[in-house]
Amino acid sequence: MFEDDFNDDEWGPFEDTLHRYEQLKKGESSTILEEEEFERVIEYFFSSSNEEQALTACEIASTYYPFSASILLLKAEILTQSQKYGQALRALDEMEQFDMRNLDAVLLRSDILMSQFRQPQAAQWLEQQSENFGGKDKVEILLELSDVYDEGEDFDAVFNTLKRVIQIERRNEEALQKICFWAEFTGRLEESVTIHTNLTDEDPYNALAWFNLGAAYQGLKLYEKAIDSYQFCVAIDEKFEFAYRNMADAFMRLRQYEPALEVLEKHMEIGKPEDVIFEAMGYCWEKKKDYTRARQYYRQASQLSPQDDGIFYKIGETYTREKQWEKAIKSFSVALHLDKDNASYCMAIGNCLMELNVKSEALVCYLNAVRLKPDNKTTWVSLVRGLYLAGYYDEAITQLQVATDHCGEKGDFHYFHAAALLEMGKAKEALLQLETALEMAPKKLKLFTELNPEFLMRPSVTDLIAKYRKKK
């Protein structure tokens, strides 16, 4: 409401207005200011953070214009800024006797109630007042009401209120942008599909509505329909960046990496370089098994986001797929340097060291992973597997007992226990462990056989597996 500058107007230079006000204030002038002149003086003092002088000007103005709603509203705003909420509400009460349908006053009362932590009263006030307004004014009240419901964590009411806005003004950008988020947050995606299908039927060139329809379909994992909606969106607005981004994600979910790359390239043409776009392109090339090109895009992503440890981990993963263990270790080490408490990075380095036959250093990495995530089964599996491959069968069994204490009984642990016992020549105990493993996790038999394929040459082992399968 307040102006940022005070230029000359129909009453002459503002300095003259201010001078006449000061004379009036001192009782040295017999002429009074026009109502609008008083408003400008009040605004001047308030914008200069001189709230006391602004309130004094309000009081003087009210003696000459006691029925002025605009001066009372200014007074309420100044009192609100000073956190004198009770006085501000009284000023609004007085103002509403002269102007009952003032949008600024409606919104100001809501702000005051929220500042007093009276969210239900603010919501009730706005609901009531929304019935007294129409068109853009009603839309503004409803948008304010959606924020009030958000503050009160009544999220379904937020969604419902935004629906009401769209029914009045189907191209309201703020409501359309917000309802897309709230549809997913409240789990009302199917309802969002219905709303936006109707909206696109009525207004087929509404790009935001097509985008929201695509987002709703995407949330429901109906990726083909999502892509169709996004294509309508970009046909209407070819610079709608988020539509390209979401469309690429939908193609990636369908494992259609070529069209995903085409969409991402289009995004690159119209938008600024972004790490997430480069990273997505790297992911697509990785899935297409072009690891060199994947690293090219991952590195571009890392240049824009050099503190993102996850990107360096992905670069390392591409090297492991090419069995370039030393290069993989370097990338994983950068990731670990950026996130020293990441057990996955420790395990990744350990795995590479095992491939390079540097078993002692690999075991140190696995121990660090266990230290970081002692209640995570995966870290213990890595450590025990490393101990087994290094030939430390007794220690592997000891660590399995500790792992069980932390994670509980797991079929994986019994498979490793069986393998270690077989290597130690304790076949009878090994078969008991293997039987328990088959009972608990039959689909993980590969864990056992990959440790030493020669186990399947033992009749006692193959008989037990066959007996178990026959029993099942």
Query: What pLDDT score does 472 carry?
Result: 57
Alpha-carbon distance of 99 to 314, in angstroms, equals 64
Q: What is the pLDDT of residue 152?
A: 95
- Assess contact for 325 and 361: CB atoms under 8 A: no
- For the four alpha carbons of 362, 364, 368 and 370, in that order, the dihedral sign comes to positive
Q: How confident is the model at residue 29 (pLDDT cuts 50, 70, 90)?
A: low
Mean pLDDT confidence for 326-355: 98
Whether residue 80 has pLDDT greater than 70: yes
9 pLDDT exceeds 60? no
Q: What is the pLDDT of residue 1?
A: 40
Neighbours of 469 (CB within 10 A): 11
Q: What is the pLDDT of residue 66?
A: 86
Give the per-residue pLDDT at 64.
85
- Cα 463 from Cα 247, distance rounded (Å): 52
Higher pLDDT, 231 or 61: 231
| 140-156 pLDDT tens trace | 999 999 999 999 999 99
- pLDDT of 21 reads 81
312 exposed, middle or buried (CB, 10 Å; 0-12, 13-18, 19+)? buried
C-alpha 381/C-alpha 365 separation (Å) is 13
Alpha carbon distance, N-terminus to C-terminus of the chain: 78
Comparing 469 with 174, the larger pLDDT belongs to 174
Burial of 243 (0-12, 13-18, 19+ CB in 10 A): buried
Side chain identity, residue 423: E
pLDDT at 19: 78
Per-residue pLDDT of 244-278, as tens digits, reads 999 999 999 999 999 999 999 999 999 999 999 99
What does the mean pLDDT of the chain come to? 93
- Average pLDDT (5-12) is 50
323: left (phi over 0), alpha (psi -120 to 50) or beta: left
* pLDDT(112) > 50: yes
User: Which percentage of the chain shows pLDDT scores above 90?
Assistant: 81
Contact predicate 244/263, CB 8 Å? yes
The answer to whether 264 touches 247, Cβ cutoff 8 Å, is no
Q: Give the pLDDT score at 108.
A: 96
Contact indicator for 377, 357 with CB cutoff of 8 Å:
no
Model confidence band, residue 45 (pLDDT cutoffs 50, 70, 90): confident
Cα(438)–Cα(448) distance, rounded to whole angstroms?
A: 10
Sign, Cα dihedral of 71, 74, 76, 78: negative
Tokens of 417: 């226990």
pLDDT score for 48: 78
Question: Mean of the pLDDT values across residues 308-313?
Answer: 98
> Where does the pLDDT of residue 415 fall: very low under 50, low under 70, confident under 90, or very high at 90 and above?
very high
Task: Give the pLDDT score at 32.
Answer: 79
**What pLDDT is recorded for position 186?**
96
What pLDDT is stored for residue 38 in this prediction?
Answer: 85
Asked if 417 contacts 431 with a C-beta cutoff of 8 angstroms, the reply is no
Structure tokens at 57: 């000007």
When pLDDT is averaged across residues 177-187 and rounded to a whole number, the result is: 97
Residue 313 has pLDDT above 90, yes or no: yes
Residue 61: the pLDDT is 86
Res. 51 pLDDT band, cuts 50 70 90: confident
Mean pLDDT across the stretch 304-320?
A: 98
Asked if the model's pLDDT at residue 6 lies above 70, the reply is no
DSSP 3-state of 106: helix
